[in-house]
Amino acid sequence: MRKYRGSSKLLLQPRTTNEVSQILKYCNSRLLAVVPQGGNTGLVGGSVPVFDEVIINMGSMNNLITFDKGSGVLVCEAGCILENLVSFVDDHGFIMPLDLGAKGSCQIGGNVSTNAGGLRLVRYGSLHGNILGLEAVLANGDVIDMLGTLRKDNTGYDLKHLFIGSEGSLGIVTKVSIHTPPKLSSVNLAFLACKDYFSCQKLLREAKRKLGEILSAFEFLDNQSMDLVLTYLEGVRNPFSSSMHNFYVLIETTGSEESYDREKLEAFLLSSMEGGLISDGVIAQDINQASSFWRIREGIAEALMKAGAVYKYDLSLPVEKMYDLVEKMRQRLGETAKVIGYGHLGDGNLHLNISAPRYDDMIFAQIEPYVYEWTSEHRGSISAEHGLGLMKANKIFYSKSPKTVQLMSSIKKLLDPNGILNPYKVLPHSLSSH
């Protein structure tokens, strides 16, 4: 992101859980801080060494361990790249329950540690539901085996959840057991244009009711996002002849009955068109056209990086209020920066991005703390899916009560009393234990 710069004298690439354990045991005894690193695609600076932390890069722990073709339960090492897992389970007729633009580089251990959301959460739910078990190594080198493969297990506290989304601050995830759903035969993707944000919102409500069980993604982007992609990414074409649309929505359906699913989607689109919710629309005719539609949505982050400096906010907000913030930011910033809004509308997750030629304190002062205050006032979350990392460790109080943060800090002290695991991240500096 050209924003987080770290330095380190040492990068270690353990190949086994035992090596991770020995590294942590040694570092803990010598009070050496470490930063766990997956595919380095995180957007909040979580995998960056801040001063001189030892980097523990998980890329060499990339073995598949078992795959149960009956239940679809996959057990693998944390360093497996998501896209490789996608291909592996695809060969057996399954899909991964999460999908994100960074799939070619991000690792399943990084996904678990950030509790990544992505494009399919609306259908398959969060990793808190899909991860069945974990193996993690604590700061003192203890290996905690929670690598269950069962859907149900109520034997006391379900501690694996502590590691899902804790961004390497409580332990290093070394193995993962994940439930993969069967791959269904019929997938349809529609790229739709809407005249205003209200129509996108209403379309979502209707889609949840009328597409119900086959709805597998509901994403939106505004015309500034589309412009950016068309300007900065090579080979991307606008699927519509007119460039006058204000908003775009991508709706994917996934089901098992091709003609039924297609009919259902077409009937839904027709009624939405008649009701004035959609002004134009295209259904992908084949897999290539579907990929070209996804390229537009998934390419926004890349286009933003190419456009210059970018201030990123990943917010959970009530769907009705979400776009008000984008408009408020445009009023505040005027011509000084481009404000773009897109995201996982089906999950109430806005990606507010502010793009400027270069990082600038005056622009920054117009953005923060306003964005966080506004989000907090509307009872939103300042991190929907990317985590807190370095960027938002000190902002946690906008979304969590002091007592909750205190309890988090007590858990951190219990598991990592010397504060060697990913310091300066997640928890505010005032509560860090070192």
Question: Which spans of this chain sit near ligand 2HG (rule: CB under 6 A)?
Answer: 101, 300-301, 304, 312, 314, 351, 353
- The only residue of 21, 23, 46, 371 in contact with ligand FAD, by rule CB under 6 A: 46
Q: What angle do CA 49, 410, 375 make, to 5 degrees?
A: 70
Q: What angle do CA 199, 203, 205 make, to 5 degrees?
A: 120
- The only residue of 14, 72, 117, 281 in contact with ligand FAD, by rule CB under 6 A: 117
In the complex, least distance from residue 152 CB atom to ligand FAD, rounded to whole angstroms = 25
Residue 47 binds which of ligand 2HG, ligand FAD, none (CB < 5-8 A, kind-dependent): ligand FAD
Q: Which of 381, 303, 341, 390 lies closest to 117, judged by CA?
A: 381
The alpha-helical segments, DSSP class H, found in 33-149 are 82-91, 108-114, 121-124, 127-130
Report which residue type is found at 225: S
Q: Does 386 bind ligand FAD (CB under 6 A)?
A: yes
Residue 188 binds which of ligand 2HG, ligand FAD, none (CB < 5-8 A, kind-dependent): none
In the complex, least distance from residue 22 CB atom to ligand 2HG, rounded to whole angstroms = 35
Q: Which residues pair with 134 in a beta bridge?
A: 146, 176
CB contact at 8 A, 130 and 124:
yes
The pair of structure tokens assigned to 245 is 């649309």
Q: Please give the Cα distance from 301 to 305 (Å, whole number).
A: 6
Report which residue type is found at 431: L
- The only residue of 110, 148, 165, 346 in contact with ligand FAD, by rule CB under 6 A: 110
Residue 353 binds which of ligand 2HG, ligand FAD, none (CB < 5-8 A, kind-dependent): ligand 2HG
Report which residue type is found at 284: A
Host H or E run for residue 340:
strand 338-344
Q: Please give the Cα distance from 72 to 74 (Å, whole number).
A: 6
Residue 312 binds which of ligand 2HG, ligand FAD, none (CB < 5-8 A, kind-dependent): ligand 2HG
Residue pointed to by tokens 């349809």? 188
Say how many residues touch ligand FAD, by CB under 6 A.
37
Nearer to ligand 2HG, 297 or 412 (CB): 297
Alpha-carbon separation of residue 122 from 7, 20, 108, 253, 407 (angstroms): 38, 35, 19, 11, 30
Residue pointed to by tokens 């998980």? 58
- The only residue of 17, 28, 107, 130 in contact with ligand FAD, by rule CB under 6 A: 107
**What is the side-by-side order of every strand in the sheet holding 64-68?**
64-68, 73-77, 172-179, 131-137, 143-146
Nearer to ligand FAD, 114 or 188 (CB): 114
Sign of CA dihedral 419, 421, 425, 426: negative
In the complex, least distance from residue 170 CB atom to ligand 2HG, rounded to whole angstroms = 23
In the complex, least distance from residue 250 CB atom to ligand 2HG, rounded to whole angstroms = 12
Nearer to ligand FAD, 168 or 380 (CB): 168
Q: Does 85 bind ligand FAD (CB under 6 A)?
A: no
Nearer to ligand FAD, 7 or 185 (CB): 7
Q: Does 255 bind ligand FAD (CB under 6 A)?
A: no
Buried b (16+ CB within 10 A) or exposed e, 398-407: bbbeeeebee
In the complex, least distance from residue 186 CB atom to ligand FAD, rounded to whole angstroms = 24
Task: Provide the angle, in degrees to the nearest 10, between the axes of the packed helices 197-210 and 319-333.
Answer: 160
- The only residue of 59, 97, 341, 389 in contact with ligand FAD, by rule CB under 6 A: 389
Q: Which residues pair with 3 in a beta bridge?
A: none
Q: Does 42 bind ligand FAD (CB under 6 A)?
A: yes
In the complex, least distance from residue 40 CB atom to ligand FAD, rounded to whole angstroms = 4
Give the per-residue contact string, 274-313, with ligand FAD (x = CB under 6 A; - = no). Answer: ---------------------------xx-----------
User: Under the rule (CB under 6 A), what is the footprint of ligand FAD?
Assistant: 35-43, 46-47, 58, 78, 100-102, 106-107, 109-111, 113-114, 116-118, 167-168, 172-173, 301-302, 385-386, 389, 422, 425
